[in-house]
């Protein structure tokens, strides 16, 4: 065989071996409700995720998510964005906290800031995001939360849904782990569509995190995610 030829097999990476309970760091910004965080907390408590939320990190003091962490006895830390010289300094503080808590996987759960390069590099294929729409449509900078649903309705799309993907330096552009479709009704408003999509988000996020916890996610060529069969 000509060894100078590039291999035709894709370059693969498995970010977590699935040989120990997963330690999750949840990262939030703004005053979001934190229902995705709550779904992850409940899934860990009820055994649907083989792991625990090791720390909840918010960049907004007084965020409801911090209260959720407190109620469940989960350590939480606040790093107010304004207290740091720039995004990199904020990321460094967050990274140190993630290291202190030996976090394997970051779950962005309503994190509307862009994760900086150092955070992305340190947690390459170990940082997930949930988006309330079907990427690559209706996503990117400025399209988050209710704005996604308003854009879907304005465009006249007949389906929307949920995407769980690995977060990278670019908004909503990393390898897709799971997608679920949700039909759009003729008389939907952004609020009714959001209400139909939210429980699907909760289930999809836990499902994706459990696939990671079981060591069943493999990233091919830095682009596609292969879900490996369940072992034994």
9 to 48: interface string for ligand GAR, x by CB under 6 A? -----------------------xxxxx------------
Q: How far is the CB of 33 from ligand GAR (least distance, A)?
A: 4
Instruction: Rule CB under 6 A: say whether 192 interacts with ligand GAR.
Output: no
Nearest alpha carbon to residue 22 among 220, 229, 209: 209
Identify the burial level of 97 via C-beta atoms within 10 angstroms of its C-beta, where 0-12 means exposed, 13-18 middle and 19 or more buried. Answer: middle
Identify the burial level of 155 via C-beta atoms within 10 angstroms of its C-beta, where 0-12 means exposed, 13-18 middle and 19 or more buried. Answer: exposed
Q: Edge to edge, what strands does the sheet with 224-227 contain?
A: 12-13, 217-220, 224-227
Q: Is 207 helix (H, G, I), strand (E, B) or coil?
A: helix
Nearest alpha carbon to residue 107 among 209, 199, 211, 217: 209
Query: Which residue in the set 144, 161, 206, 211 belongs to the binding site for ligand GAR (CB under 6 A)?
Result: 144
**CB contact at 8 A, 55 and 109:** no
CA angle 67, 73, 77 (to 5 degrees): 60
Q: How far is CA 13 from the centre of its chain?
A: 18
Q: How far is the CB of 25 from ligand GAR (least distance, A)?
A: 15
- Residue 149 annotated in active site: no
Exactly one of 131, 149, 165, 202 is catalytic; name it: 131
If the CB atoms of residues 33 and 72 are measured against ligand GAR, the closer one turns out to be 33
Which segment (4-12, 99-107, 129-137, 221-229) binds ligand GAR by CB under 6 A? 129-137
If the CB atoms of residues 56 and 217 are measured against ligand GAR, the closer one turns out to be 56
Instruction: Rule CB under 6 A: say whether 145 interacts with ligand GAR.
Output: yes
Which segment (8-16, 99-107, 128-136, 211-219) binds ligand GAR by CB under 6 A? 128-136
Instruction: Rule CB under 6 A: say whether 165 interacts with ligand GAR.
Output: no
161 is written with which tokens?
Answer: 């849904």
Q: How far is the CB of 147 from ligand GAR (least distance, A)?
A: 8
Nearest alpha carbon to residue 7 among 230, 229, 220: 220
Q: How far is the CB of 40 from ligand GAR (least distance, A)?
A: 9
Write out the binding residues for ligand GAR, residues 98-127 only, by CB under 6 A.
109-110
* Chain positions contacting ligand GAR, by CB under 6 A: 32-36, 109-110, 130-132, 144-145, 201
Catalytic residues, by residue number, are 131
């Amino acid at each position: 065989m000509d060894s100078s030829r590039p291999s035709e097999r894709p370059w693969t990476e498995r970010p977590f071996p699935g040989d120990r309970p997963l330690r999750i760091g949840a990262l939030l910004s703004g005053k979001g409700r934190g229902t995705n965080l709550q779904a992850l907390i409940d899934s860990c408590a009820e055994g649907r995720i083989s792991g625990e939320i090791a720390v909840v990190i918010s960049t907004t003091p007084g965020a409801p998510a911090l209260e959720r962490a407190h109620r469940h006895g989960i350590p939480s830390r606040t790093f107010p964005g304004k207290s740091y010289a720039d995004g990199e300094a904020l990321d460094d503080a967050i990274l140190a906290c993630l290291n202190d808590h030996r976090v394997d996987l970051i779950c962005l759960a309503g994190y509307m800031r862009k994760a900086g390069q150092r955070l992305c590099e340190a947690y390459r294929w170990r940082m997930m995001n949930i988006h309330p729409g079907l990427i690559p449509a209706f996503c990117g900078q400025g399209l988050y939360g209710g704005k996604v649903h308003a854009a879907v309705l304005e465009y006249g799309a007949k389906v929307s849904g949920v995407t769980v993907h690995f977060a990278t330096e670019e908004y909503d552009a990393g390898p897709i782990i799971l997608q679920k479709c949700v039909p759009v009704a003729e008389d939907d408003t952004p609020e009714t569509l959001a209400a139909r999509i939210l429980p699907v988000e909760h289930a999809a996020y836990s499902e994706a995190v459990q696939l990671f916890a079981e060591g069943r996610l493999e990233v091919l060529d830095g682009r596609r995610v292969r879900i490996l069969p369940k072992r034994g």
